[in-house]
Amino acid sequence: MITRIAGQLEEVGSSSAVVSLGGLWYEVMIAACDVDRLSGKLGGEIVLYTIHIIEGDPSRGQVVPRLIGFQAQADREFFRAFTKVKGIGPKKALRALVRPIAEVAAAIENKDAKSLVALPEIGKRTAELIIAELHGKMGQFAGDYAADGPGEAVQNISEPGIEAVAILVQLGERRADAMALVERVLACDAEIDSPGEIVQHVYKLKAGGA
């Protein structure tokens, strides 16, 4: 079973990435929230923590092996728990996770059904089922969102800014520091509409650059 892939990121599509390793090119399915993050790493070396699944009907001999990849082990473990909820298969979960996984985990811990319903393919009944089955088990995945959710300050930042905050938190920044840095970047140039570009400007700011 393949549990981790380290190699060069060759391609990023709307639902998958291609990683080259030792002359082999692996297609790895990815969550919607990782598309922009990985797009900023094209051509670079990455590590993906993977889940190996089999699609199709084994009784008819029609099966296809698939790999699902995540940039953090914690995200992979969240996904395993998330897809145990009735009615949430791997593909549906990948499409639904348009928000950072820590944010979704916090919504579950906060019993925030409204935020869950805002995710693609998650209706009211499914949101209630997710909360019923997973509430109390998601704290380890929620990170700095756990205490009070995204908060009013984040709500006042643009969507790309919110995504940039989540990326910075996953890269090790404290949430409060990430919010302050993103707000400073957007105050200088509110037209930036790419989370990856915002993150780049944040690190330039931290380094004392323009």
d(CA 187, CA 198): 11
Higher pLDDT, 174 or 151: 174
Q: Compute CA 81 distance to the chain's CA centroid, rounded to the nearest angstrom.
A: 15
Candidates 3.30.1360.30, 1.10.1060.10, 2.40.50.140, 3.30.428.10; correct CATH number of 1-71? 2.40.50.140
pLDDT level of residue 167 (50, 70, 90 thresholds):
confident
**Could you state, in order of their start, the residue ranges of all structural domains in the chain?**
1-71, 79-149, 150-206
* CATH number for the segment(s) 79-149: 1.10.150.20
Tokens of 158: 């643009």
The predicted structure's pLDDT at residue 156? 57
Q: What is the pLDDT of residues 57-90, one digit of tens each?
A: 777 777 889 999 999 999 999 999 999 999 999 9
Q: Which phi and psi angles does 30 have, rounded to 5°?
A: -130, 155
The predicted structure's pLDDT at residue 157? 67
Residue 70 CA neighbour count, 13 Å, CB half: 22
Name the CATH topology of 150-206.
Helicase, Ruva Protein; domain 3 (1.10.8)
pLDDT level of residue 146 (50, 70, 90 thresholds):
low
The predicted structure's pLDDT at residue 152? 43
The predicted structure's pLDDT at residue 191? 79
Q: What is the pLDDT of residues 84-143, one digit of tens each?
A: 999 999 999 999 999 889 999 999 998 989 889 989 889 999 999 999 999 999 988 987
- In the chain, pLDDT over 90 holds for what percent of residues? 52
pLDDT level of residue 207 (50, 70, 90 thresholds):
confident
pLDDT at 209 over 60: no
pLDDT level of residue 151 (50, 70, 90 thresholds):
very low
Neighbouring C-beta atoms of residue 131, cutoff 10 Å: 20
Q: Over the chain, what is the mean pLDDT?
A: 87
The predicted structure's pLDDT at residue 154? 46
Which amino acid appears at position 8 of this protein? Answer: Q
